[in-house]
Structure 1
Amino acid sequence: MSGPARSAARADPVALSGVSFAYEEGPEVLTGLDFAVREGRALALLGRNGSGKTTLMRLLSGGLRPSAGTLAVDGEPVAYGRKGLTRLRTTVQLVVQDPDDQLFAASVGQDVSFGPLNLGLPDAEVRSRVGEALAALDIAALADRPTHLLSYGQRKRTAIAGAVAMRPRVLILDEPTAGLDPDGQERLLATLDRLRARGTTVLMATHDVDLALRWSDETALLTPDGLHTGPTAATLARTDLLRRAGLRLPWGVAAAGLLRARGLLADTAAGPRTPEELAALAD
């Protein structure tokens, strides 16, 4: 690509280049990793326990610093001082798996306001962001509710609302559907769809290959021999990668293979991602 064309292209909002990381007195968890989160995509991150998913997410959000390589925001390397990390955290927000590790304030509204207040924003702007985030997560009625009286699903939504109030371009979620009942999962996925429609890029770490197939545009698979990223349907159809990542074949991919083998689905047609889509094909 020529220089002018490259400069005209917009850089990825957040990207790791040649990154390695090891915990103190331990082996390297990630080595020479290149990974970019592309604007506007729904990205699923999958891999077996201990594969480095949590480490990767914390590197992207600034919670960990690479031992080698760089983290860049909009193509510019992140400086790990106060100013650089503030810039990073207004671009990228991480919501951890257990909401009780993230919630600490007395009420829902107070908890969601913590991040914007730390940015030094005017009170009116903080109130606007809190109201916007509570509405986006469908928990506006819980603004004054003590956090210790929330259900598990409500605590999950409150933790996500706290991240959304920072108005990040990239929202990283660690196993966001874990512990939710089917209705809670559907409501959360609908919320993520609304956030994406407003321009938020979402990265979701999950062990659920069926959820990844249904929800994501792209999938990143962490395996012992490195990271493999590509379009979700094609990536999750690769049994060699799934085996190395310790994952099973999604049922939708298996169903599509059976339908094609029996001449019921064209080779170029997309396979079913949900039971409802399979039922529609049957009809």
Structure 2
Amino acid sequence: MSEPSALVALRGAAYAYEDGPDVLSGLDFDVREGRALALLGRNGTGKTTLMRLLSGGLRPREGRLTVEGTAVTYDRKGLTRLRTTVQLVVQDPDDQLFAASVAQDVSFGPLNLGLADGEVRARVEEALAALDITPLADRPTHLLSYGQRKRTAIAGAVAMRPRVLILDEPTAGLDPDGQERLLATLDGLRASGTTVVMATHDVDLALRWADEAALLTPSGVHTGPARTTLARTDLLHQAGLRLPWGVAAAQLLRAHGLLDEGTPGPRDAAELAAFAAAPALTPPPDGQRG
């Protein structure tokens, strides 16, 4: 089976803020269609800059951004095409919400595309349903809880029907139940064909959720299968991250002869419990989780 092609890619990208040093330089980065990608790294290594380059919020000083191999142009037509392909949801929903009600906020992007009223309504209803906030359609945004504001911000991006959804620390500030509900929502979006990129500091979440992990370090970005990439202690040290507990658990299981070298380790508590109950049982491969 062939590897998914790069839907969105940066090639030789460099960026520096005014009067500052390069934040990113000579960066090659791929977002492959149909994959869940976790982006990790210490503060100041350029995660936010990278996400804004991918979504068109920033333009690389050098290099290029491509969509399906075609270079993005930064005129109105080119940016409209990009933003119907890639949507970025920032970490703080209050930086993204501004309309009086939930439905009005979610409708903003589709209205700016010049879509007919019926199409706008359909997209808003679809996005609200996808984020499980349909009952909140007429709720004033200033009366929403933090978790509801996060979902509304994501719904606004989903209403654009992007092929790539980029989320900056989407689980930050959510309680455990809110995190689980959001992850279930993201699973639903992926099942409907949306490629999801998540920036996070939570290595355990990345191991559990992602097919691929990209570690942004001072030596560059290192991307590969989540299981193997997040077991690289050298890269984790460079990225200012600790070893995921699932990787540590796999090492302990192997040390006690309960897990073969070629068998993937557990990614969450349920998979660890399965190992404890039946050591021969192996968790499903990446991309085939229920």
TM-score (normalised: structure 2): 0.94
Q: Is the 8 A contact 1:20 1:68 kept in 2?
A: yes
Q: Is the 8 A contact 1:12 1:74 kept in 2?
A: yes
Matches within 5 A, 1:1-283: 11-283=5-277
Question: Residue 11 of structure 1: CA displacement?
Answer: 5.0
Q: Secondary structure at the match of 1:265?
A: coil
Runs of 5+ consecutive residues of structure 2 not aligned to the other structure: 278-290
Q: Secondary structure at the match of 1:71?
A: strand
Q: What code does the residue aligned with 2:53 have?
A: L
Q: Is the 8 A contact 1:220 1:227 kept in 2?
A: yes
Aligned to 2:288: none
Q: Percent identity?
A: 80
Question: Residue 12 of structure 1: CA displacement?
Answer: 2.1
Misfit runs of 4+, over 3 Å = none
Q: Secondary structure at the match of 2:196?
A: strand
Q: Secondary structure at the match of 1:13?
A: strand
- Tell me, in whole angstroms, the C-alpha distance in 1 between the residues paired with 2:244 and 2:126: 36
Q: Secondary structure at the match of 1:124?
A: helix
Deviation by residue 1:245-278 (Cα, 9 ceiling, x = unmatched): 0000000000000001110112121111111211
- Tell me, in whole angstroms, the C-alpha distance in 1 between the residues paired with 2:188 and 2:121: 21
Runs of 5+ consecutive residues of structure 1 not aligned to the other structure: 1-8
Q: What code does the residue aligned with 1:216 have?
A: A
Q: What code does the residue aligned with 1:236 have?
A: L
Q: What code does the residue aligned with 2:169 have?
A: E
- Tell me, in whole angstroms, the C-alpha distance in 2 between the residues paired with 1:62 and 1:30: 15
- Tell me, in whole angstroms, the C-alpha distance in 1 between the residues paired with 2:274 and 2:62: 50
Q: Secondary structure at the match of 1:237?
A: coil
Q: What code does the residue aligned with 1:113 have?
A: S
Q: What code does the residue aligned with 2:220 have?
A: G
Q: Is the 8 A contact 2:84 2:162 kept in 1?
A: yes
Q: Is the 8 A contact 2:4 2:32 kept in 1?
A: no
Q: What code does the residue aligned with 1:46 have?
A: L
Backbone CA RMSD of aligned residues: 1.2
TM-score (normalised: structure 1): 0.96
Question: Residue 118 of structure 1: CA displacement?
Answer: 0.2
Deviation by residue 1:33-56 (Cα, 9 ceiling, x = unmatched): 000100000000000000100000
User: Aligned pair in 2 of structure 1 residues 137, 194: CA closer, same or farther (>3 Å)?
Assistant: same
User: Aligned pair in 2 of structure 1 residues 45, 10: CA closer, same or farther (>3 Å)?
Assistant: closer
Work out the number of aligned pairs and report it: 276
Question: Residue 162 of structure 1: CA displacement?
Answer: 0.2
